[in-house]
Amino acid sequence: MGGYDDELTRPLEGALEASTSEGPTSPAVGRDEWVARHGDNRARRGGPLGALEERLRVVPWWAWLTLLVAIACLVPVAFDSGYVRRVAFDIVIYMLLALGLNVVVGWGGLLDLGYVAFYGIGAYAYALLSSDHYGVHLPTIVTIPLVVMIGAVAGLLVGLPSRRLTGDYLAIVTLFFLQLFLTIGTNGDDLFGHNVTGGANGLLKIDPLGFFGRDLPATTGGGVFNVAYLYVVLAAFVVVFVALRFVNLSRTGRAWRSLREDPLAAEVMGMPVNWLKLMSFAFGAAIAALSGTFVAALNSSVFPLSFSFPLLIIVYTMVILGGSGSQAGVVIGAILIGILLELLRDPGDSRVLFYSVIVLGLVAALRLSIRLTAVLGGLFVFGVALHSIAGAVDDSWVNGSGGAGGGVADFMANWVVVPTEPAAWIAPVSYVTLVAMALFLTLLRGWVRLVVLVPVLYLAAFVWENVMLAKPEPTRYIILGVILIALMILRPSGLLGEKRVEII
């Protein structure tokens, strides 16, 4: 795009040359500058939203960080519920994990698929250093630095193959490492006759955190989440965020990003690429291990399968959604995904979420127009008509919709066909038909597309009510996948990620 602007505008060169390249008469904005800034100007959004974006751009990073921490501190004030506070704790852990992964993937450009193993190593290391398993009970102030170091060393060791491996090869080696960790974790109750990891039963009765001789119990009064843990992880998050921010602005940060851009050029420009790769691995691993200590202490137990592939996918989703390479982006990604995963647990909440996403998506795609009205109106009529036909044939065809009440649920009960006892073939057939029709939709253009859109959306609602609500766990991941696909199309570089250019 920008690369050949000079060539394209060459006819102008003679005319403007005298004023741009020579002497004191050159104007404030020359032709070169206008061309170079053209991309910026175009990328900038117009209207009130664009103006807001401009304003927000001026806010310094530490102000955002302070705001975020202030909001997080308000959570316990606003919510009495131990559940909400615990969710806030989990989200801060996700934020830490995303920050760590961002060092390896976003800055170092290394595809590390073993990342959550370091989280597990941190949790297990903390467990072994502060439980009855070996009878070791080190004070927290010693354990945490020790665990962070263990994590960093593990990162260095796993990073060693990256001296020779990049891209796909590195990905598969690190993925193997994660599997190795899981295997050792689940079978570690009999490693050469020693019980090291407690096997699938995990390690139990782990000490809580404790500072200055005072224990920080994981729960207060009857098993309610101790909010002090939220403050502890928030403090850790701030330290990690600021430290990484400073590293990113230093020569090491520049070197990491250089090696992501072009390892050979970085090496030839005097940067020890192999060492830098190892260092980014160690950094990511250390942060993951640190997060592991808090979780082990809070749960007072560790199990190998908590550090498995679903978690890996979630953390990657956060980084990719937020914009790999942008610290603020991955934090926002972690918050969004964390909240989303929680909302999707409850059928009532997830139903509202599902339909609002569909309606908002329609509004975004069609704007407020006649077409939007036509689609929504058509959808309503289509559903009501189908529902009454099915109801007239047999009552049991439409009476299946149960679950929580509420406006949305009531409306759906009168709109979507939900049989009382759906035949076994309905789930797979409707699901596959939906995917096929959605793909078919991309081939259509113009009004035909709008017409076909109506039954496709209805089918989506049908699948949601009949298939997905019945199985919340896979549904969460399917929704995550759909969001990722949508983002890939709308914002390929993530929410806050800079647009990246490969070769032009």
Give me the residues that bind another protein (CB under 8 A), please: 2-7, 20-21, 33, 36-37, 39, 243, 246-247, 249-255, 257-258, 261-262, 264-273, 279, 283, 498, 500-504
126 vs 241 by CB, closer to another protein: 241
Q: How far is the CB of 139 from another protein (least distance, A)?
A: 23
8 vs 142 by CB, closer to another protein: 8
Q: How far is the CB of 250 from another protein (least distance, A)?
A: 3
20 vs 179 by CB, closer to another protein: 20
Q: How far is the CB of 143 from another protein (least distance, A)?
A: 21
Pairing of strands 214-215, 301-302: unpaired
329 vs 347 by CB, closer to another protein: 329
Q: How far is the CB of 159 from another protein (least distance, A)?
A: 15
Query: Do 174 and 113 contact (CB within 8 A), yes or no?
Result: yes
Instruction: List, in order, residues 6 or more apart from 16 with CB less than 8 Å away.
Output: 30, 31
Reported as half-sphere exposure (CB side, CA atoms, 13 A), residue 128 has a value of 14
Q: What is the distance between the alpha carbons of residues 81 and 395, in angstroms, rounded to a whole number? A: 42
Chain CA centroid to CA 51, Å: 28
257 vs 371 by CB, closer to another protein: 257
Query: Do 338 and 87 contact (CB within 8 A), yes or no?
Result: yes
Q: How far is the CB of 144 from another protein (least distance, A)?
A: 16
Query: Do 112 and 340 contact (CB within 8 A), yes or no?
Result: no
Q: How far is the CB of 62 from another protein (least distance, A)?
A: 13
41 vs 442 by CB, closer to another protein: 41
Q: How far is the CB of 351 from another protein (least distance, A)?
A: 41
Q: What is the distance between the alpha carbons of residues 92 and 113, in angstroms, rounded to a whole number? A: 21
Q: What is the distance between the alpha carbons of residues 238 and 399, in angstroms, rounded to a whole number? A: 52
160 vs 247 by CB, closer to another protein: 247
21 vs 220 by CB, closer to another protein: 21
Q: How far is the CB of 501 from another protein (least distance, A)?
A: 4
Q: Is 314 helix (H, G, I), strand (E, B) or coil?
A: helix
Please provide residue 210's backbone torsions phi and psi, each rounded to the nearest 5 degrees.
Answer: -155, 135
Residue bearing tokens 């077409």: 371
Rounded to whole angstroms, what are the CA distances from 327 to 165, 245, 318, 345, 406? 26, 8, 11, 28, 39
Query: Do 304 and 138 contact (CB within 8 A), yes or no?
Result: no
